[in-house]
Structure formats: structure tokens, C-alpha cells
């Protein structure tokens, strides 16, 4: 990640409890890369909810589940799969009972944008169920901001807000009113967290990125070209580019080392 992200800055990490059940409620502007940024930079294990269509093939489902990912299906992915969301919902509640962290993207879909989209009801329903069962669940809003979505080298800001409190919600309201108020409060918190300046790049903040620009240039260029071809018109550029770099970097270094070895040996 240090070779792909030019600069990343976290603020408010102290708002995530070191132990106990946590629901991270995040915006979602950069596909799978959002989860990589959060899960790859925090010391506790994080279970994340992901778009359900990528779980349809058995091998993919097994691989994604091993990475602590759970499917969440939308109507556009097939009405016959919506019932599987109940199982995912139950698993989230069980994870809360075990004191785990679950990451949910509260907008429910991903588009490359800097503004918050209207929130879906899933986050509020999880909160209402857990709090209704008297669980000690902490709901933490998280905002991720990027300087771009289609270029190599990211500047990323992750702003973690103060938890949303159970007492902020009307306890005797109908489900519809409860969820509406929940989304209003969460939207206000996320919008404030998104309205922050991005950090400025600096060699000394992440020298690996700038060294990698020179050493890894052939791999970076190839990964970028392949990703542009595969993801044209979609939101997956960073996910594919970053994934290719992380997957192929060790192989590239081995080949580069062998090349240097043979050049120095026979010259």
C-alpha cells in the first residue's frame, strides 16, 4: 500500500474502541479499495459487507469469506438472492455478541464522488436490532476522502468521528421514524467528516512511494494500463490497480534481483 498510496492520514482513530462490538458506518466512493484502506490500516480484525454479486461463484465466495467479507445483495443483483441478506444480518448480530468489528458502507452503493449519497436503511436496522437486544454496540462514523479515483498514487484522508449514541434516537418511535432519524443523524456526522482538507504529499511522510516510482516504474505502468482497459467506465480502477501492484510486486522484485545479479556477474 505504501507504494500505491502517496500519502494517507488518519484522524480520530481513538474513537474506535480497543475492544467490544463496533459498527463502522462509512461512506463508499471507491469500491473494494475503501475496505482495503480501512481494514489494512487498523490493528483489530474488521469484517466488511460487500456487494453480493461477487459471491455468486463458490470459489469466489470461499475466498472472500476467508478475508472476513460478507455478502449484501441488492434488488439489481437478483430478487432471488435478497433472502440471503437475512443470513448476513444474523451473522452481523452474532459477531457483535462476540465483540467483533463490522464495516458497513451506509450509502449502499458505490460511485466515484466526493459528496455523500442518501443512506440506505441497513445501518439503522443493525443498530436498532443490536440496541434492542441490549448489546453494548458502538457505532462509529467513518469518512474516506480521495484526491482522485483514476490515477496512480493516492492522497487519502480517513476521518473517524465520535460515536453515534443510542440516546440520540427516539426510543418509542415507529421503525420508519426511527430509521429516518438515524439516517439524518448519521448523514450529518458523515458530511462534517467529509468536509476536511486533504493532507499534502511529502517525501518524508512516505519515502517508499517516491522510491517505488523509480524502482517499480515498469510494473506500475503495466498495472495502470491493464486496469484502465479492464475498468473503463466503472468504479474499480483503484481496486484493480492496487490489487495488481500488491500481488505482482514480490514477483517483480525477484525478477529485478535476478536481472541485476546476472548483469553484475557477467559484465
Q: What per-residue confidence (pLDDT) applies to 71?
A: 86
Q: What angle do CA 162, 168, 173 make, to 5 degrees?
A: 145
Task: Reply yes or no on whether the pLDDT at 223 is more than 70.
Answer: yes
Question: Which secondary structure element, helix H or strand E, spans residue 10, and what is its range?
Answer: strand 5-11
d(CA 249, CA 256): 10
β pairing state of 5-11 and 154-160: parallel
For residue range 11-46, list pLDDT tens digits in order. Answer: 999 999 999 999 999 999 999 899 999 988 888 999
d(CA 159, CA 192): 10
Structural domains in the chain, sorted by start: 5-194 (3.40.1130.10), 216-266 (no CATH)
- pLDDT band at residue 216, thresholds of 50, 70 and 90? very high
For residue range 111-135, list pLDDT tens digits in order. Answer: 898 899 999 999 999 999 999 999 9
Q: What per-residue confidence (pLDDT) applies to 54?
A: 80
d(CA 108, CA 106): 5
Q: What per-residue confidence (pLDDT) applies to 75?
A: 65
103: number of Cβ within 10 Å = 24
| Whole-Å CA distances, 192 to 134, 174, 187, 196 | 29, 27, 9, 8
Sign of CA dihedral 124, 125, 129, 135: negative
Question: Which secondary structure element, helix H or strand E, spans residue 91, and what is its range?
Answer: helix 84-97
**Least trusted range by pLDDT, from 37-46, 50-59, 179-188:** 50-59
**Of 19, 76, 83, whose CA–CA distance to 45 is shortest?**
19
Contacts of 166 (CB under 8 A, 6+ apart): 131
Q: What per-residue confidence (pLDDT) applies to 157?
A: 96
Q: What is the pTM of this model?
A: 0.91
Task: Reply yes or no on whether the pLDDT at 77 is more than 70.
Answer: no
The rounded mean pLDDT for the chain is 92
As a dihedral over the C-alpha atoms of residue 207, residue 212, residue 214, residue 217, rounded to 10 degrees, the angle is -160
Task: Reply yes or no on whether the pLDDT at 78 is more than 70.
Answer: no
d(CA 93, CA 133): 10
C-alpha cell at 96: 457483535
**Of 145, 139, 136, whose CA–CA distance to 99 is shortest?**
136
DSSP state of 53: G
Amino acid at each position: 500500500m505504501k507504494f500505491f498510496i502517496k500519502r494517507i492520514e488518519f484522524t480520530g482513530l481513538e474513537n474506535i474502541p480497543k475492544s467490544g462490538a463496533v459498527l463502522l458506518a462509512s461512506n463508499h466512493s471507491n469500491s473494494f479499495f475503501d475496505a482495503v484502506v480501512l481494514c489494512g490500516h487498523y490493528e483489530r480484525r474488521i469484517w466488511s459487507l460487500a456487494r453480493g454479486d461477487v459471491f455468486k461463484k463458490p470459489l469466489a465466495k470461499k475466498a472472500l469469506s476467508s478475508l472476513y467479507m460478507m455478502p449484501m445483495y441488492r434488488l439489481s443483483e437478483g430478487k432471488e438472492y435478497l433472502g440471503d441478506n437475512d443470513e448476513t444480518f444474523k451473522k452481523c448480530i452474532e459477531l457483535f455478541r462476540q465483540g467483533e468489528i463490522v464495516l458497513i458502507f451506509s450509502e449502499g452503493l458505490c460511485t466515484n464522488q466526493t459528496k455523500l449519497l442518501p443512506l440506505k436503511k441497513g445501518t439503522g436496522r443493525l443498530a436498532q436490532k443490536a440496541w434492542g437486544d441490549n448489546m453494548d454496540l458502538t457505532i462509529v462514523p467513518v469518512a474516506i476522502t480521495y484526491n482522485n479515483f483514476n490515477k496512480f498514487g493516492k492522497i487519502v484522508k480517513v476521518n473517524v468521528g465520535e460515536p453515534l449514541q443510542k440516546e440520540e434516537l427516539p426510543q418509542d418511535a415507529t421503525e420508519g421514524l426511527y430509521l429516518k432519524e438515524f439516517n439524518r443523524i448519521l448523514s450529518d456526522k458523515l458530511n462534517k467528516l467529509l468536509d476536511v482538507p486533504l493532507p499534502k504529499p511529502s517525501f518524508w511522510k512516505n519515502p517508499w512511494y517516491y522510491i517505488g516510482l523509480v524502482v517499480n516504474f515498469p510494473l506500475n505502468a503495466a498495472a495502470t494500463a491493464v486496469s484502465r482497459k479492464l475498468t473503463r467506465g466503472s468504479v474499480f480502477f483503484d481496486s484493480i490497480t492496487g490489487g495488481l501492484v500488491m500481488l505482482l510486486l514480490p514477483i517483480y522484485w525477484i525478477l529485478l534481483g535476478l536481472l541485476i545479479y546476472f548483469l553484475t556477474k557477467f559484465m
